[in-house]
């Protein structure tokens, strides 16, 4: 899945180093997007795809990176695709 670039776990700061900093940045981005009306999990996925370490992550990679269930990723991706903020690639 690739971002078109034109529920809070509460443990985003639990890690030290790059992963912790990435998750904190994603949570800050998600908070802003949620205030603008985007569903929280969709905002987290979108933020991770924009800020994260790689372009074109799979659903299992997103779930592992965000420390959420694959079901949460599935719903968020569906929302983002419907809003045309995300493109699914196979």
Average pLDDT of the chain, as a whole number: 86
Give 20-60 pLDDT, tens digit per residue.
999 999 999 999 999 999 999 999 999 999 998 888 899 99
Residue owning tokens 């987290």: 44
68-84 average pLDDT score: 96
pTM: 0.79
Residues 6+ apart with CB under 8 A from 35: none
């Amino acid at each position: 899945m690739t971002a078109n670039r034109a529920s809070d776990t509460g443990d985003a700061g639990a890690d030290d180093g790059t992963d912790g900093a990435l998750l904190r940045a994603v949570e800050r981005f998600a908070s802003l997007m949620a205030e603008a009306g985007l569903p929280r999990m969709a905002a987290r996925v979108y933020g991770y795809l924009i800020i994260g370490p790689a372009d074109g992550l799979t659903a299992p990679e997103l779930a592992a990176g965000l420390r959420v269930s694959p079901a949460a990723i599935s719903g968020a991706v569906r929302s983002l695709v419907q809003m045309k903020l995300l493109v699914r690639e196979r």
